[in-house]
Amino acid sequence: MGLKQLLMEQAFRVMEDPRVMQAVRDPRVVQALMGAIQLRAKVQRELEEQVQRVARQLNLATEAEVRELRRMVRRLEQELEAAHARADERSADADAR
């Protein structure tokens, strides 16, 4: 059994506890949980922005830039393969004449 499966089973067991169910029904608890989730997202967003700033200052490629470059290389490789195939076809046609 993987860690993810174990954690999911544990979470379901906790959610079945009547005390947890009662706490989840409390609007204050729900509001606090939503605040925690929003805070986590904000911290993550700010951290990513800081990483991008530092990467730019150090003249490093960001993850998004590397991803885009990989896409571009793949596309150029496909175009090159297609050009080679066309050149081979032309060469074969010229040899057939």
Instruction: Give per-residue pLDDT as tens, 13-58.
Output: 888 888 888 888 889 998 999 999 999 999 999 999 998 899 889 9
Closest listed residue to residue 14, CA positions, set 26, 4, 23: 23
Q: Say if residue 52 is in the same domain as residue 39.
A: yes
Q: Say if residue 50 is in the same domain as residue 67.
A: no
Report pLDDT for 17: 87
Structure tokens at 71: 């896409």
68: in domain: yes
Cα of 35 vs its chain's centroid, Å: 23
Name the residue range of residue 83's domain. 63-97
Q: Say if residue 52 is in the same domain as residue 82.
A: no
How many distinct structural domains can be found in the chain?
A: 2
User: Mean pLDDT score of the chain, rounded to an integer?
Assistant: 90
